[in-house]
Structure 1
Amino acid sequence: MKASDYIEDRVNKLPKGYVFTYVDFLSEVAKREAIIKHLNRMVVSGKIEKLSKGKYYKPQSTVFGNLLPEQNQIVKDLLEKNGKLLGYITGYSFYNAMGFTAQVSSIIQIAKNETRPSLQRGRFKIAFIKQKNTITKQNIPLLRLLDAIRFIKDIPDATINNSCTRLLTLLADLSEEEQEQIKKLALKYPPSTRALLGAFFQQIDSNQNTETLKKSLNPITTYNLSVSENILPTAKNWNIK
């Protein structure tokens, strides 16, 4: 089979929205330049689209035009390599899914143990935040909650009070085991995150054990969040104003 025919056949079998590079064809086609040249011909013909330099995808067509790939596809090489988990999507991408805001952002935030400068992929800006905890598939939902608490002031189109109300609901829905785990994970987050988490849990259940969080904080430090006492009356116990 000719190299061009092989590439066409492979692309036809790919699911729509799948992001790929010339490397996906190297095992059968020897010359990198030949692969890139043919993929670029396919872009010109409209069979595939270019996401960014060296990255292509098979578009899904709708009456409103071609859809972009899902965010997990756009940044999959930054999330996992050779089966090893490197990071997770958080922040702006999940504020909508978690019920904080109706706004959809063009910024994809990725939390990793080792960060790097931001980059652009198509219309998306990829930004990185430092995650000091070991990242596992099991703790990612809890880390996303902590990220939302950490950056509560930056949630677009949402007030601090509305975000606090939503976080109280999400934290109350956690199992006892998850609540204990998120307290441990919070110890590697900034003091303001620990204080706010402590206030949330104390509000959810006055008998909640928050001693570890309390002991991790400087008793004379205050945190300015402008949260309403009606929304979070326990805030004052944690020097949150």
Structure 2
Amino acid sequence: MRVAEKIEKMILKMIPGNTFKYQELGIAKDEYSAATKAIERLIKREVIKRASTGLFYIPKQTAFGNIMPREEELLKPYLFNGGQRTAYITGITLYNRMGITTQVPKNIRLASRDKRIVTKIGSVEVKSVKSYVEVTNENYYLLELLDVIKDFKTIPDADKTQTIRFLLNKLGELTVKEKEKLIWIALKYPPRVRALTGALLSELNPTDLLQELKKSINPLTIYKYKITSQQLPTIENWNIQ
């Protein structure tokens, strides 16, 4: 079977809206030249579309026309490596998705421990920031919550009372083991993050593990969040104002 036929047959079996790269087509090294030409022909025929350099997808057809893949799908090559998560979406994109802000970011930020990510998805720039710990499938959702706490004061248009409620709801849904993992990760974050994390968790159900957070912050330092005790009753125990 010719390379072009093999590629088209493989692509047509894919789910519309999902992205793929050359590496997922099982192409041998000596077939890359023919594969590149085959891909370009499929793009011209509008069988597939290019999402970004080296990233393609089959358009998903709806009553309103073809639609782009979901944001998470477009970013998949940068979020995973060999099926293992190595990065996660953070910043205003994340906070918008969570409903904390209505602001739409001009660029997307991906947090990763070691990976440097600079690319474009359409007209939107994708930039990387350094995560505080190694990112995995088992911890990225905890890192997302800690980033909300980290950026609590600077999230545009965020209502502090509603953000506190959001965080308490999300933290309250975690299992005991997940809360323990969150605490150990929080110890890698700045002191102000540890303080607010401690105040939020102690509002839910105080545990001995919170002492680790308590010991990690300076008892003489005041962390200014402009939060009242009506919004979060435990702030005084964590030097928060």
- Whether contact under 8 Å (2:113, 2:130) holds in the other structure is yes
1:95-133 Cα distance to aligned partner (Å, 9 max, x none): 355443456656443221114253322233323232232
1:71 corresponding residue in structure 2: 71
1:135 corresponding residue in structure 2: 135
1:14 positional shift: 1.2
1:20 positional shift: 2.0
TM norm structure 2: 0.85
Indicate the larger mover: 209-218 or 103-112.
103-112
1:50 corresponding residue in structure 2: 50
Structure 2 counterpart of 1:200, which letter? L
Q: 1:227 and 1:64 mapped to 2: Cα distance? A: 45
- Whether contact under 8 Å (1:99, 1:166) holds in the other structure is no
- Whether contact under 8 Å (2:84, 2:137) holds in the other structure is no
Q: 1:135 and 1:51 mapped to 2: Cα distance? A: 25
For structure 2, the 5+ residue unaligned runs are: none
1:76 positional shift: 2.2
TM norm structure 1: 0.85
- Whether contact under 8 Å (1:112, 1:129) holds in the other structure is yes
1:8 positional shift: 1.9
- Whether contact under 8 Å (2:84, 2:136) holds in the other structure is no
For the structure 1 residues 75 and 182, does the alpha-carbon distance in structure 2 shift closer, same or farther, using more than 3 Å as the test?
same
- Whether contact under 8 Å (1:111, 1:129) holds in the other structure is yes
1:189 positional shift: 0.8
> SS at 1:51's partner residue?
strand
- Whether contact under 8 Å (1:3, 1:29) holds in the other structure is no
- Whether contact under 8 Å (1:160, 1:225) holds in the other structure is no
Identity of counterpart residues, as a percentage? 35
For the structure 1 residues 28 and 130, does the alpha-carbon distance in structure 2 shift closer, same or farther, using more than 3 Å as the test?
closer
For the structure 1 residues 103 and 13, does the alpha-carbon distance in structure 2 shift closer, same or farther, using more than 3 Å as the test?
farther
1:38 corresponding residue in structure 2: 38
For the structure 1 residues 103 and 67, does the alpha-carbon distance in structure 2 shift closer, same or farther, using more than 3 Å as the test?
farther
1:156 positional shift: 4.3
The alignment yields a C-alpha RMSD, in angstroms, of: 2.5
Equivalence map 1:63-212=2 (5 Å): 63-101=63-101, 105=105, 107-116=107-116, 118-205=118-205, 207-209=206-208, 210-212=210-212
For the structure 1 residues 129 and 60, does the alpha-carbon distance in structure 2 shift closer, same or farther, using more than 3 Å as the test?
same
Q: 1:176 and 1:26 mapped to 2: Cα distance? A: 43
Indicate the larger mover: 8-17 or 38-47.
38-47
For the structure 1 residues 164 and 118, does the alpha-carbon distance in structure 2 shift closer, same or farther, using more than 3 Å as the test?
farther
